[in-house]
């Protein structure tokens, strides 16, 4: 079996500890499978934090200032609400405010379904995109994660990595789909990239040909010509992300894409309600069916 | 509700008889020099803001300068993380004065390029780390630095209000659990803006720290006493020093609600005089004021010329 995203994160972390005096910090790292097998099962360089969310990210900031290039594991993105302040008010502002860097990689893990319920479901990268000084990305493949890690080591910025448990067993790359006969260009983020793939296939079966562009870097967002030209060609686009739409990543990216091309780009995210723990009350990543229906509506 | 601000708020809390007299004269005079520089600096900042030369928020530490002076005598070479009322800490630990003046004047050559005014002043190359303006936020950051294994102890300074922040209390617990090389120092002026401690809590920081398993002392701001405990506790970290002190001006800005409960600066001068060091202390005070004045004049001229 090829290497999965979880394997990739674990191996990158192991090498970071061994080769760069790096350190990974977080709560309950060693418990129940070392964070879905993404943390190396070792004590060296692995720091179990007490259950103190606000101070915990402050500790990570201090480790960054001490030169340890820490990796802070946030086991549910819901904990980001508590951990946010040192990340955005110290690490992200450090270079602008103090003139010295505070390199910190935040592994923010999103999950959904399975009874995670109203608070522990979903990703919250949109709120971090709002703040200056903090690059935000959402890798979903082994190769993308390697690129993200290389970026962390070769720059001195903090970095918020919006992970999703749905990606951990993924062992394949996700190439863009661009076709000359496409009538709409779909841009997908995070776990919506997997459902978007299915939506594109389903629509193709119904005779609707779509481009699919995978977005990894959410901020700074600098779409390449290869990402913009398909939108120019189709004239219509849709950004889909598994976060809420209002002030969310999908609308922000759609605006930037529209500004860059002069084309109409719509946005799609979660339903505007809290998810429930029971399956019938959940609010999951936009499904292939929802995405396909939205594209069909755009084309009408 | 019990009153944690009484009867411990006395200028003699934790006093050790003969401590000042046992100190070498050169050390006592250096201690006072640091106090005099910090006081002259903040008094100048006050005048500069009233004159409109300084337009950022300023947090003056007049009345509290003995804490930083005493601390710096016993903890040189440490990483130092203070908070918004940090001019005295910065200067006592050797922060470059022109960089903080330039910061308050909003100049690009300021230690933060004019971005922050008083709170984030730093001299990272000299171990003085910046603060982001959220009270107590520096304490977990300091604990993280102590975790980092830099082979350098860490000193973090905060106020009695910041001591109530949840992340400060858990930082104490984490440092105690991991036996980290960090000294926590609370500049306890009994005020959170203008709300006294008795209206905010019943517990005492030193007792809480002991509950976490750390050594802790609760003392007044006699600078010889602060230096004594700093030196002693740096070999037994982690530890906490709660220092009762008096803030003479408002939380922010230049206003005053009258004199503090005691005037440590004048008490130190009187003690030096009683030790036969009156002439030297007056000379030090005069030279400190002249130095501060000269540096401000120089920096203002540079700003005007730019």
Q: Give the residue from chain A lying closest to B176, CA to CA.
A: A50
CB contact at 8 A, B221 and B265: no
Q: Tell me the nearest-neighbour CA distance from A25 into chain B, angstroms.
A: 10
Q: What is the tens place of the pLDDT at every residue in B162-201?
A: 999 999 999 999 999 999 999 999 999 998 988 999 999 9
Q: Where are the alpha helices (DSSP H) in chain B?
A: 19-22, 25-50, 65-74, 87-92, 97-104, 138-147, 166-178, 205-212, 223-233, 264-274, 278-305
- CA proximity to B154, closest of A63, A157, A83, A56: A63
pLDDT value at residue B257:
86
Tell whether domain B25-248+261-305 is in CATH 3.40.50.970: yes
- CA proximity to A221, closest of A246, A183, A251, A176: A251
What are the CA-CA distances from residue A156 to residues A58, A120, A121, A133, A160 (Å)? 18, 30, 31, 11, 13
Separation between Cα atoms, residue B40 and residue B31, nearest integer Å: 14
Interface test with B, best of A49, A58, A88, A94 (most B CBs within 10 A): A58
pLDDT value at residue B1:
36
Q: What is the tens place of the pLDDT at every residue in B58-90?
A: 999 999 999 999 999 999 999 999 999 999 999
Is the bond into B7 cis (omega within 30 degrees of 0)?
A: yes
Contact B115 A61 (CB under 8 A): no
Contact A86 B146 (CB under 8 A): no
Chain A residues lying within 8 Å of B120, measured CB to CB: 97-98
Size of interface A-B (CB pairs under 8 A): 106
- CA proximity to B123, closest of B93, B158, B162: B93
pLDDT value at residue B5:
52
Q: Which phi and psi (to 5°) does residue A89 adopt?
A: -95, -15
| Residue B119 pLDDT level (bands cut at 50, 70, 90) | confident
Domains of chain A: 5-167 (3.40.50.970), 184-299 (3.40.50.920)
pLDDT value at residue A32:
81
| Among the partner residues B124, B137, B168, nearest to A90 by beta-carbon distance | B137
% of chain B residues with pLDDT over 90: 92
pLDDT value at residue B226:
98
pLDDT value at residue B6:
62
SS3 for B210? helix
Q: Mean pLDDT, to the nearest integer, of B112-116?
A: 92
Q: Which phi and psi (to 5°) does residue A213 adopt?
A: -115, 125
pLDDT value at residue B306:
86
| Residue B117 pLDDT level (bands cut at 50, 70, 90) | confident
Ranges under pLDDT 50 in chain A: none
Separation between Cα atoms, residue B219 and residue B178, nearest integer Å: 26
Contact B173 A50 (CB under 8 A): yes
Q: What is the tens place of the pLDDT at every residue in B250-301?
A: 999 999 988 999 999 999 999 999 999 999 999 999 999 999 999 999 999 9
pLDDT at residue B3 is higher than 80: no
pLDDT value at residue B2:
40
| Residue B120 pLDDT level (bands cut at 50, 70, 90) | confident
């Amino acid at each position: 079996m090829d290497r999965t995203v979880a394997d990739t994160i674990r191996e990158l972390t192991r090498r970071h500890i061994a080769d760069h005096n790096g350190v990974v910090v977080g709560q309950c790292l060693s418990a129940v499978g070392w964070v879905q097998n993404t943390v190396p099962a070792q004590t060296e360089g692995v720091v179990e934090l007490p259950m103190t969310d606000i101070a915990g990210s402050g500790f990570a900031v201090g480790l960054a200032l001490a030169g340890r290039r820490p990796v802070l594991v946030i086991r549910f993105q819901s904990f980001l609400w508590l951990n946010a302040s040192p990340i955005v008010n110290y690490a992200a502002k450090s270079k602008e405010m103090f003139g010295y860097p505070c390199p910190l990689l935040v592994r923010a893990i999103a999950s959904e379904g399975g009874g995670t319920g109203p608070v522990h479901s979903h990703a919250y990268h949109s709120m971090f995109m709002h703040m200056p000084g903090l690059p935000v990305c959402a890798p979903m493949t082994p190769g993308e994660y390697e690129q993200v890690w290389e970026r962390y080591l070769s720059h001195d910025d903090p970095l918020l990595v919006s992970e999703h448990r749905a990606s951990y067993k993924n062992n394949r790359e996700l190439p863009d789909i661009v076709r000359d006969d496409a009538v709409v260009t779909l841009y997908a983020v995070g776990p919506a990239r997997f459902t978007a793939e299915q939506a594109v296939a389903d629509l193709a079966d119904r005779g609707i040909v779509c481009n699919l562009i995978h977005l990894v870097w959410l901020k700074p967002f600098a779409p390449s010509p290869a990402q913009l030209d398909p939108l120019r060609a189709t004239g219509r686009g849709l950004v889909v992300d598994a976060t809420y739409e209002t002030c969310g990543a999908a609308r922000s990216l759609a605006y930037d894409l529209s500004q860059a091309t002069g084309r109409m780009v719509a946005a799609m995210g979660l339903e505007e309600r809290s998810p429930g723990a029971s399956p019938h009350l959940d609010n999951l990543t936009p499904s292939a069916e929802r995405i396909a229906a939205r594209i069909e509506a755009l084309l009408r | 509700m019990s009153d944690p601000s009484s009867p411990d708020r006395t200028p003699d809390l934790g006093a050790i008889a003969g401590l000042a007299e046992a100190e070498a004269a050169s050390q006592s005079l250096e201690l006072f020099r640091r106090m005099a520089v910090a006081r002259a600096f903040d008094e100048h900042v006050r005048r500069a803001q009233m004159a409109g030369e300084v337009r950022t928020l300023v947090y003056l530490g007049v009345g509290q300068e003995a804490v930083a002076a005493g601390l710096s005598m016993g903890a040189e070479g440490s990483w130092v993380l203070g908070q918004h009322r940090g001019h005295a800490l910065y200067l006592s630990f050797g922060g470059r004065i022109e960089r903080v003046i330039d910061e308050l004047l909003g100049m690009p050559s300021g230690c933060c390029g004019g971005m922050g005014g008083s709170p984030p002043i730093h001299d990272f190359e000299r171990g003085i780390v910046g603060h982001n303006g959220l009270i107590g936020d520096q304490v977990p950051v300091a604990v993280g630095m102590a975790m980092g294994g830099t082979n350098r102890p860490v000193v973090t300074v905060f106020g009695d209000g910041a001591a109530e922040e949840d992340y400060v209390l858990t930082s104490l617990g984490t440092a105690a659990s991991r036996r980290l090389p960090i000294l926590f120092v609370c500049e306890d002026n009994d005020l959170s803006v203008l709300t006294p401690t008795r209206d905010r809590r019943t517990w005492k920081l030193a007792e809480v720290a002991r509950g976490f398993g750390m050594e802790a002392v609760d003392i007044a701001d006699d600078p010889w006493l602060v230096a004594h405990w700093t030196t002693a506790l740096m070999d037994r970290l982690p530890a906490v020093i709660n220092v009762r002190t008096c803030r003479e001006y408002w939380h922010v800005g230049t206003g005053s609600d009258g004199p503090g409960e005691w005037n440590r600066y004048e008490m130190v001068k009187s003690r030096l005089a009683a030790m036969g060091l009156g002439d030297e202390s007056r000379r030090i005070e005069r030279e400190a004021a002249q130095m501060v004045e000269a540096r401000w004049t120089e920096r203002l001229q540079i700003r005007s010329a730019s």
